[in-house]
Every structure is written in structure tokens, then in C-alpha cells.
Amino acid sequence: MGTKEKLWILTAQCPSRLGTVDVVTRSLAETENYIVAMNSFDDKETESFCIRVEFRPINGQSSLNDFRELFESRASGFDMQWQLTEPYHRTRVAILVSKYDHCLNDLLYRYRTGELAIDIPLIISNHPDLKHLADWHGIPYFHLPITADTKPQQETEVWRLINEFDCELVVLARYMQVLSPAMAARLDGKAINIHHSLLPGFKGAKPYHQAWAKGVKLVGATAHYINDDLDEGPIIAQGVQAVDHSHYPEDLVARGQDIESQTLASAVRYHTEKRVFLIGNRTVVFKD
């Protein structure tokens, strides 16, 4: 089986207007850039348009330079915000974690095997428990304990490290702390969280045990961008699995952790492959 071709990615977003698709495709064609795949969506509720294009420059850097020059002038006429992503770009990701290791383990595996196009320059935790995983992968591990009194100082240090290591994305891989409104604002659209999605909803201690006591029939997980409303940020990916009376609490926990890991990995991939567009508190996700 051949390796998937690495392509340039163009993403753009603007108000809905006649000719939005045309201005993108025509600009690429006129500068000799071959479109391999394209997704677009026009949201009638907000009258906003978004598009994602994978393309191959026929004449290499010359085609790219010509496209940038031409498209910059044309896109401005549509109030279009756009971005080009290089084929071999690897997103720098800071992982925040507490004591649960399933999501961290899964992300490290996908990073190690190259399934996710990411680099992980650091892992931050409010506990020392998972340092051995970071050490095994040769990744710096920063243990930053937190209490109610030290929360502002701890978050200041977290933010400093994120910037020091030039991280583009923050992943909360079961980081069992509620971020302050100030920290959530800093990470708006740049941080992904994962949590269980039990139907009906169960909060507090031992949610899977609560669910088992009610005879729950579905377990799942939701990955979303963070904001200052707890677990209410724009949703990127969700997973669900049916369960029944034969599943005891420990079975539900195991199923839930599997779904959390898979759903978080999907959300990270969608983000790093530039497949997610924010429209207010909603997302448009172009799945492959």
C-alpha cells in the first residue's frame, strides 16, 4: 500500500457571497496548482462560508508564489481570512494531564508511529505519576502542583511554558482541573478537551458507577474546544457505544476510556489537518 501523498492545504473563511468557490478554484488553476480534494460549506444561519482545499503545485515554488500574490488581492474583496499549510507541517502540541494515562498513552503511540502529524515538546501535569511515560519517550515533563491558593501562579507558569516551547495546540488529555476564565480565554480555539458523554448525563464522583446504577445503555465521549463554560465548548468529535445489563461498572469504565482515547485522537487529527472551522460556538468539520 502506497504512502498517502503530502499536499498543500488551503483553508479560508468569509461571509457568504456569490463567487466564493470560484475565486478559490480559479486562482489555483490560473497559477497552475492542481486541486486533489476540496470541501466547502455555506452556513445559511450565520451567512458564513468556509472551504478547505488540498492541492499540488505543478511548478513547485513558482506556482505557490504566483498563487499567493494573485489570491491575496482577490480574497480581500471577499473579506476572506485564509491560510496555507505546508505538506510536512507538524503541529507542536502541549499535553496537559493528571493521573489517568489512557488518553496520554494513546496520543503518544499515535505520535510515535506517525499517525498524527504532531510534535510533543512537553507534557505538563499537576501530579508526578505519569513522568515515566514522558521519560520513555524523551519528552520533558513538568510537574506543576496546584491548589486553590496557587492556581493563578500555576496557570501563569503553564502559559509561560506553552509559549516557551512554541506550542500551537494544547490538549487536555484528562487534565482534571477547571481552567480559570482568563486561561480559557487565552486558549480559545487552541485547546481541546475530552470528557465522557453518558446518557443520561452523570456528573461528580464515579460517573460510570452512577450510570451503571441507572442501567445506562450508551457510553460515549466528547472532544471539544475549551471556553469558560465548563464542558460547553464547540464540539469537534464524539464517539458512542451501546452497552447493556452485562456490563458492570469496571466494564463501563474500560469501554469509556477506549472511546475517550479514540475520540480525542480524532479531534486532534481534525484540528492539525485543518479540517475544523469555528462558526460562533459551533464547528464545521470536514472529515476525510
Annotation says 229 is catalytic:
no
Helix residue spans in 114-229 (DSSP H): 131-137, 151-164, 181-186, 207-213
Strand (E) or helix (H) holding 175: none
* Contacts of 49 by beta carbon, 8 Å cutoff, 6+ apart: 13, 14, 15, 16, 17, 20, 40, 41, 42, 43
Inter-residue contact 11 to 82 (CB < 8 Å): yes
Per annotation, catalytic residue among 101, 231, 251, 258? 231
First-last CA distance in the chain: 18
CA separation for the pair 41, 129 (Å, rounded) = 44
- What is the CB neighbour count within 10 angstroms for residue 64? 18
CA separation for the pair 133, 99 (Å, rounded) = 12
Residue 245 φ/ψ, nearest 5 degrees: -65, -20
The catalytic site residues sit at: 231
